[in-house]
Amino acid sequence: MKLHNIFLLIFVALWRPTTQHIFLNKFYGNYQEQLRTQDEIHSAKYEYEIKTINMPIDHFSFSKVDTFKLRYLVNNTWQKEENAPIFFYTGNEGNIETFAQNTGFMWEIAPEFGALLIFAEHRYYGESMPYGNKSYANINNLGYLTSQQALADYIDLIEYLRSKPEYKHSPVVVFGGSYGGMLSAWIRMKYPHIIQGAIASSAPILQFSGVTECETFARIVTSDFRKAHSNCPKLIRKSWNTITNITSSDKGKEWLSEDWKLCKPLKNETDVKQFKSYLEDVYANLAVVNYPYKANFLAPLPAYPVNAVCKHLTNESLSGTELLTAVHKAINVFTNYTSETKCLDLNNSTPQLDAVGWPFQSCTEMVMPMCSDGVNDMFEPNPWNLDEYSKECMKKFSVTPQSNLVCEQYGCKDLSTATNIIFSNGLMDPWSSGGVLQNLSSSAIAIIIPESAHHLDLRSSEINDPYSVILARKYHRYFIKQWIKEHREKEGKLH
């Protein structure tokens, strides 16, 4: 089959996304917090050398001279010659070792390309703390946590690598998933003279005010659950009022606390609100990691965990305590799949201190509206209110959100000048609502993966991978070869 015909099969952008949705901060913080703990759960699958490099705390000032050590991981096992391709992972908001362990695609293709692997840690995450244990102490210390500063870190690291004779003419291809995918896209857009190409998987670069609709994420989560069973989202939607009614009495709170084996019993409305928030987080988590095989990414989970959850929520007539007991059994797929959890700790769904970085970013430049209407989705109605959001940000961090900053810095509505970027999005992934779902230019390509959840194409190959995921990886390799070829032809003419 000719190449352009195959493109038609996989690049089908069936619609321009007029409704897109955006990060639920409390979910995303929890998501990253759990990612950080994975290196404590499993042993390292891939080997690397850990290095550090001195970085300016402020890249854009001539008066601030403070520096810090940025951590990065290196593997040169497959490098066979000088000017080997540099495959560079643009680190997310978490410990870089976790992302190195969960980006198997880079490791799998490195031998084919004879590539040097680099995984760079994002400032203010993992061990790359500009002011040590005082990095989050106040706004003066924390104010240098921005995507612009992080991209400048990565450019400085790349330029340091290419200052060595053996890498002087090396092509650089960046990889990233989720926020890391956003960084990969942006670094290619902003520094095309340094970055030859980018694989930006599940990168919601359009999830900003004025570009997206705030409720689309919740609708995609709901769609995933509806696909598992038509009654599943109906029962979840019904459960919110049921929780409210049952917990309106002390006896009801006591019953739910005991039936669900909560570590800390529900005592008041604040506890009930936290309980509901916990459930929202779990439902979102399940949709995000709805992988076709057993995985231990956020928690030990079976293949297609949403299907496993919805097997308990098929009887539309369920109500009252019977409904909540069924929901509890369903939730156990996520919270207690291994049957080792003694009690349910609702605090586990809230970001801890070492995950505070993302909420700060979402209160400054990464302002991504989130809402639900309770009609087109399975959640309680929750409108987006920028004024209230801003008040919370001022209360937490003494900052006022700049909701237009990202679109001003990188572009949102007009990205026609973007080149050499692959935007891959799985239609099962709620984050695809803010992804690029149609080609931006002849070389800024949208790959639609119907059977994929969150950046599944960047994970290691598994026997149960859907064909669309396998095909997407083939296209990643094809375009990487093209970018490297273009770079070497250009370098040959210059030298």
Catalytic sites, residue numbers: 178, 429, 454
Strands 421-426 and 197-201: parallel
Dist. CA 205–CA 185, nearest whole Å: 8
Q: Return the structure tokens found at 206.
A: 């359009």
β-strands 421-426, 116-120 pairing: unpaired
In the chain, % helix, strand, coil (3-state, to 5) comes to: 45, 10, 45
The C-alpha atoms of residue 183 and residue 125 are separated, in whole angstroms, by: 15
Contact 206, 20 (CB under 8 A): yes
Asked if 224 and 428 touch (Cβ cutoff 8 Å), the reply is yes
The token pair that represents 161 in the structure block: 């690598």
**The two structure tokens encoding residue 48:** 């690397």
Q: Specify the 3-state DSSP secondary structure of 120.
A: strand
Task: Order the strands of the 116-120 sheet from edge to edge.
Answer: 49-56, 67-75, 116-120, 86-90, 172-177, 197-201, 421-426, 444-449
Tell me if 17 sits within 8 A of 437, measured CB to CB: yes
Residue owning tokens 């997206």: 212
CB 272 within 8 A of CB 253: yes
Instruction: Return the beta strands (E) in 103-235 as ranges.
Output: 116-120, 172-177, 197-201
β-strand pairing of 86-90 with 172-177: parallel
Counting Cα atoms < 13 Å in the Cβ hemisphere of 95 gives 15
Pairing of strands 197-201, 172-177: parallel
Buried-exposed string 315-340: b where 16+ CB fall within 10 A, e elsewhere:
eeebeeeebbebbbebbbbbbbbeee
d(CA 437, CA 204): 10
Helix axes 3-10, 467-494, angle to 10 degrees: 130
Query: Alpha helix locations (H) across 208-259?
Result: 216-228, 232-246, 250-259
